[in-house]
Amino acid sequence: MTALSDVSDFVGWSGEDQDEVSIHVAGMTISGWQNVSIRIGLEVMPSTAHLAFTEYQPDGQYMLSVDPGMRCQISIGKDLVITGYVSVVETNTDAAGNLMFMEIDSLSIDLIECSAEFATYQMSSTNALAICQQVSRPRGVTVTSTQGAGNTDIQQFSVILSETAYEVMERVCRLAGCIFYDQPDGSVLLSPVGATQASGGFTEGENIEQISTRRSMRGRFSEVRAVIQNPVVLFTPPDGDDYVSQMDAVSTPVNAVATDPGVTRSRPLLIPVELGDADYAVAKQRVQWEVARRYGRSQVIDLICDSWRDKSGKLWTPNTRVPVKRKSWSSAQMWLIAEVEFSRGEDGSRAHVTLMPPEAFKPEPILLPMQSNEAVAAANSSVGDAGADRTPVQQEDI
């Protein structure tokens, strides 16, 4: 019997359990964890795992030497779920027994906490995927894409000194209209929203043990309208009857209005048109995005499933479209898995799943930096022609 199998047998390893949680670290595979919490999600970076068991004997035959900072992998059965680092190791001994506790973070922890490193902080003639790969490479994190996500050409991009790699990627993915999140092998994936669909779904009375739905009106507006950033509007208060005509004057040329039929009382929201938005194309996308995203964020399902896997045996994963059927609904509705927590304790194993409409994760449309910079240059030139006593438009890297 090898040392590796000794450790596995000692802490209770069972090769027949497809949902057995194990950690491979320091040349050992440790399983038999009695308390498990593994959290992954579209807005969960880094992915995390909290593991504990009570059979650890520091003075016995099996001395486990695991230190914070060690690279490791977390698996559920044969499925890899997290590649990262041991962040915390805690051992407690009292009259009741011995406890070993570990916290693990995925490789993306370094993208979130560390400042971005570049040979040059000004890039040109590139695309979103290439920028994400470049900013992640010094931290040892691979970035890939699916379904063409990240292929958006970016003619000019500036990294702000002291930005973290995560902050750079967040801005870049907004430009590309995609999302990014952790993968089991430690890489980061650029993807459109709802890239995959699960086999089967969640059905009340079958695999749903508990379910709650949340519907909110907070943050939703009856009408979202884009307006031109005009000094008259910004600094001159309108006189009673002039308000309507003034709003028409700054919004009619844009013709970017979106309404939320679910908001029955008057709740208007004005958003400014970005400088350089030719034909107001981005403004028209932005008002639609405001309504859709705010609706998506207002609709949330939290449920507890009795299994970590769908009907095909695949683990529940974020960014997966899945049908949900409640007894009170006439038919199943398609939702998006936003977050999953695989938990195990004295009361058994369960999957805690948060779902939202896909609209909740659509990236905000923004101008490409080149378009904005050209508009700023044109504005400054116009101001200069009008006279040197005018204050020029200030440029910021996006």
Q: Is the pLDDT of residue 67 over 80?
A: yes
Q: Is the pLDDT of residue 383 over 80?
A: no
Asked if residues 150 and 173 have their Cβ atoms less than 8 Å apart, the reply is yes
| Residue 278 binned pLDDT confidence (cut-offs 50, 70, 90) | confident
Q: How far apart are CA 17 and CA 76, in angstroms?
A: 9
Asked if residues 189 and 180 have their Cβ atoms less than 8 Å apart, the reply is yes
- The encoded tokens of residue 249 equal 């004057």
Give the per-residue pLDDT at 64: 72
Question: What backbone phi and psi angles, to 5 degrees, belong to 377?
Answer: -60, -40
3-state DSSP assignment of residue 170: helix
Give the per-residue pLDDT at 6: 44
- Cβ burial of 327 (10 Å; 0-12, 13-18, 19+) is exposed
DSSP code at position 393:
P
Average pLDDT, the chain: 85
Q: How far apart are CA 166 and CA 159, in angstroms?
A: 12
Q: How far apart are CA 273 and CA 226, in angstroms?
A: 6
Question: What backbone phi and psi angles, to 5 degrees, belong to 386?
Answer: -80, -20
3-state DSSP assignment of residue 345: strand
3-state DSSP assignment of residue 347: coil
The pTM of the full predicted model, rounded to 2 decimals, is: 0.83
- The encoded tokens of residue 204 equal 């009340």
| Residue 393 binned pLDDT confidence (cut-offs 50, 70, 90) | very low
- The encoded tokens of residue 110 equal 């370094």
Point out the least confidently predicted range of 242-246, 275-279, 390-394: 390-394
Q: How far apart are CA 322 and CA 354, in angstroms?
A: 12
Point out the least confidently predicted range of 64-68, 106-110, 164-168, 351-355: 64-68
| Residue 190 binned pLDDT confidence (cut-offs 50, 70, 90) | very high
Q: Which helix (H) or strand (E) holds 40?
A: strand 35-41
- How are beta strands 44-53 and 97-106 bridged, if at all? antiparallel
Question: How does pLDDT run across 23-55, given as a tens digit for each residue?
Answer: 999 999 998 898 999 999 999 999 999 999 875
CA dihedral 280, 283, 287, 293 (to 10 degrees): 140
Residues forming beta bridges with residue 91, ordered by sequence position = 100
Contact partners, residue 139, CB within 8 Å, separation at least 6: 107, 110, 111, 114, 165
Asked if the peptide bond before residue 46 counts as cis, ω within 30 degrees of 0, the response is yes
Give the per-residue pLDDT at 263: 97
Q: Letter for the amino acid at 65? A: S
Question: How does pLDDT run across 296-311, given as a tens digit for each residue?
Answer: 999 999 999 999 999 9
Give the per-residue pLDDT at 3: 40
Contact partners, residue 62, CB within 8 Å, separation at least 6: 6, 7, 10
Q: How far apart are CA 104 and CA 185, in angstroms?
A: 14
Q: Is the pLDDT of residue 222 over 90?
A: yes
Specify the higher pLDDT residue, 243 or 122.
122
Asked if residues 295 and 359 have their Cβ atoms less than 8 Å apart, the reply is yes
Q: What share of the chain in percent tops pLDDT 70?
A: 80
- Cβ burial of 232 (10 Å; 0-12, 13-18, 19+) is exposed
* Locus of tokens 């959290």: 39
Mean pLDDT of the 313-338 span? 96
Q: Which helix (H) or strand (E) holds 197?
A: strand 196-197
H/E/C letters for each residue in 259-292?
A: ECCCCCCCCEEEEECCCCCHHHHHHHHHHHHHHH
Domains of the chain: 16-106 (2.30.300.10), 111-191 (3.55.50.10), 196-216+297-360 (2.30.300.10)
Q: How far apart are CA 46 and CA 117, in angstroms?
A: 19
CA distances from 305 to 42, 201, 204, 205, 322 (A): 19, 10, 10, 11, 13
The alpha carbon of residue 119 and the mean position of all alpha carbons in its chain are separated, in whole angstroms, by 27
Asked if residues 3 and 61 have their Cβ atoms less than 8 Å apart, the reply is no
